[in-house]
Structure 1
Amino acid sequence: MRELEAQVAQLLGRLRDLEARLAQDSTTSSQPPSKDKPWVPKSERQKTGRSSGAQRGHVGKTLKMAEHVDEVVSLPLTGYCACGHAWESVSAQGHVARQVMDLPELRLQVTEYRADVKVCPGCRHRQHASFPDDVPGRVQYGSRVHGLAVSLNAAHFIPLERTTEILEALCGAHPSEGTIVLNLQLAADRLIDFETQLKAALLNQPVLHADETGSKVNGKLQWMHVVSCAQLTLDGQHSQRGFAALEAMNVLPQFKGILMHDAWSTSFKLSAKHALCGAHLLRELRGLAEHHAQVWAGELRDALRLVYHQQKDGTITPDLVIAFEQQFDALLDAGLKANPPAPPVPGRRGRTKQTPGRNLALRCQQHREAVLRFLHDEGVPFDNNQAERDIRPWCVKRKVSGGFRSKEGGQHFARIRSDISTLHKQGLNVWHGLVSVFRSEIIMPSFCC
């Protein structure tokens, strides 16, 4: 009889878990918003009461006439006035101007380098003048073509074949897919020094953000990892998700500051101080409250949102922090009481699977300092949105052009993306930065952030 009751309880628990899983969306789990139903609300933000769109006092932007023009087309007035007078005989008293801003017709600009050839009158040795370093072959594309190819593929995630089509449509160049791959490899090789300085700069940051996502290589699942802050981004491609990938990137194992992450178990193996993402916690609490009828989770979510907005608005006080922490501990105790330990399953070895509510309450108790670090350490944000924003381009890349053909291709792409993201964060021109890579005059970002 007891075995039968245990089996029924197990099946009921499994049924509840399956129903809750089917009801999950981006507001109650880590599921991406792209899988949500279109009517599901997307944001945790509180309503301000303001209307949507531009607010009062917003300075609008519109296309303005240029002060300096490249070409003037005069339009003489011809024909006859209504009274019969010929306009050709009347002098113009002024003009009305309209401007058209368009791209000029693009074509490749061919530069031919002619090196003098001379023969020594003494020993008859034949010698020619040296060519520039970026002119290694008899015929080659220039730095702008290479930079544009890399920009289209690495910055805008356009597949190789379509990149060649765009280049041909724009300027008549039609490099092969292999040439573009070689461009990516050359750019990655020349950015090795950039990556070395970037890693050293990240180690000196007080707070870093980390996240990871899947990335396909030859159809097999691999992983893309990101370590970043407001001014710097380091991307890395690796075959593993775990600690081996972090060791290969060679930043987080040596980092001694505060690491913001989403409670991934491997991150807790690091010696850094930990801060856990509040946005992930809010989604989990919402899922427990809505799909598992966990009252304590809904109350904790409301309390956490309130104290976050108080801190954000600058109205938080030490007394409010103490009161919240007491409420935090009391609600976690309530969560553990509402989710008692699951009894061992007869005949099954190992740890017994616990309910999502118990697992979450235990995690918050075990990592209480990391969950509440945003209240006590200045400069520690409430969420891990920095890493989420930095990893989003890889999700776009995965959807637009798929994965990589080789492990090396993914690693080269990651290094170039690190440069692109860092330049963009610091307000530097990404286009000029990519072109500079092929001129051996690489534009370096600031590493003293």
Structure 2
Amino acid sequence: MHDHWTPYFKYDDCTHALCNVHHLREFKGIIEFENQQWAKDMTELLLEAKTYSEETEYPLPRDKVQEFGQRYQTIIEEGYLANPLKAHEKNTDPVRLLNRLSKRQEEVLEFLYQVEVPFDNNLAERDVRMTKTKQKISGCFRTEKGAHCFARIRGFISTCQKQGLTIIESIETILRGNTIQFS
């Protein structure tokens, strides 16, 4: 799962999924600055599909997934009608977004096909955020060993959080020489 950075698509031995929170942010901008209905409709569709995928057992019914796909395509068509392509002019932000969404529909809706694929990559971004913050504040890690230690500690804390464990108690357990069983 990623934010549609083009070089990621060079990895062709995996399934790609696109972060829909990134899309929702872009829709919000188009709604606020351009007041375009298609962006409102796509926001509603993606949020409805997210809720449906969270409340329904996988595999999701094929007819319902196809319905979401058809509605998606209709909204894209409405978006192009609201943003006609003009020869010899640079594409606007809405047109660039429509082009990406049109080309990558399967990746946008991947969360409907596989239970393992989340709607967004917020969890992954949160896991990386502390490392990037540390790097920004300090400018860099002083040593490679320091970077490895930081990554191990952050990974442990992140795993404890995901497992619903108290971080301080987990650290105390490890420092006492005991092990923690993660599920």
TM-score bracket for the superposition, by shorter chain length: 0.7 to 0.9
Pairing partner for 1:303 from 39, 45, 64: 45
- Find the counterpart in structure 2 of residue 430 from structure 1: 171
Query: 2:82: which partner in 1?
Result: 338
2: distance between equivalents of 1:299 and 1:386? 26
- Deviations, residues 95-134 of structure 1 (Å, cap 9, x unaligned): xxxxxxxxxxxxxxxxxxxxxxxxxxxxxxxxxxxxxxxx
Check 1:341–1:309 CA distance in 2 against 1; reply closer, same or farther (3 A cut). Answer: same
Match status 1:261 vs 2:2: yes
Residues 269 and 442 of structure 1: is their aligned pair in 2 closer, same or farther, counting only changes over 3 Å? farther
2:140 counterpart of 1:404: yes
Alpha-carbon offset, residue 319 of structure 1? 3.6
Q: Give the C-alpha shift of residue 322 in structure 1.
A: 2.3
Q: How does 1:385-424 map to 2 (within 5 A)?
A: 385-394=122-131, 397=134, 402-404=138-140, 406=142, 408=144, 409-424=146-161
Q: Tell me the residue number matched to 1:283.
A: 25
Q: What is the distance in 2 between the residues matched to 1:410 and 1:368?
A: 38
2-structure distance, mates of 1:421, 1:282: 26
CA contact (8 A) 1:374 1:382 kept: yes
Within 1, Cα distance between the matches of 2:158 and 2:25?
28
Cα RMSD between the aligned structures?
A: 3.1
Alpha-carbon separation, structure 1, partners of 2:114 and 2:120: 13
Larger Rg: 1
Tell me how far apart the structure 1 counterparts of residues 162 and 125 of structure 2 sit (CA, whole Å).
Answer: 15
| TM-aligned CA deviation for residue 276 of structure 1 | 1.1
Task: Tell me by how many angstroms 1:314 deviates.
Answer: 2.8
Give the structure with the larger strand fraction.
Answer: 1
Following superposition, the deviation at residue 318 of structure 1 comes to: 4.1
8 Å contact kept, 1:422–1:445: no
1:273 to 15, 39, 46: 15
Q: CA deviation at 1:341?
A: 3.5
CA distance in 2, matches of 1:263, 1:389: 18
Q: Distance between the aligned counterparts of 2:37 and 2:141, measured in 1?
A: 49
Equivalent pair of 2:2/2:121 in contact (CA under 8 Å):
yes
Task: Judge conservation of contact 1:423–1:430 (CA < 8 Å) in 2.
Answer: no
What amino acid does structure 1 have at the position aligned with 2:107? Answer: A
Deviations 1:301-328 (A, max 9, x none): 1122122222223397544332221111
Q: CA deviation at 1:370?
A: 1.0
Distance in 1 between the 2:47 and 2:63 partners?
Answer: 17
1:369 corresponds in structure 2 to 106
The change in CA–CA distance for 1:305 and 1:420 in structure 2 (over 3 A counts) is: closer
CA distance in 2, matches of 1:415, 1:396: 16
Could you tell me how far apart the structure 1 residues matched to 2:17 and 2:151 are? Answer: 26
Structure-2 change in CA distance of 1:344 and 1:375 (3 Å): same
How many residue pairs were aligned?
A: 175
- CA distance in structure 2 between the partners assigned to 1:310 and 1:423 by the alignment: 29
Gaps of 5+ in 1: 1-259, 346-352
User: Which structure ranks higher in relative contact order (CA pairs < 8 Å, sequence separation ≥ 6)?
Assistant: 2
* Structure 1 position 320 matched with structure 2 position 64: yes
Q: For 1:314 and 1:405, how far apart are their aligned partners in 2?
A: 45
- TM-score of the superposed pair, with normalisation by structure 1: 0.34
Q: Map 1:345-356 onto structure 2 (within 5 A).
A: 353-356=90-93
CA change 1:418–1:307 in 2 (3 A) is closer
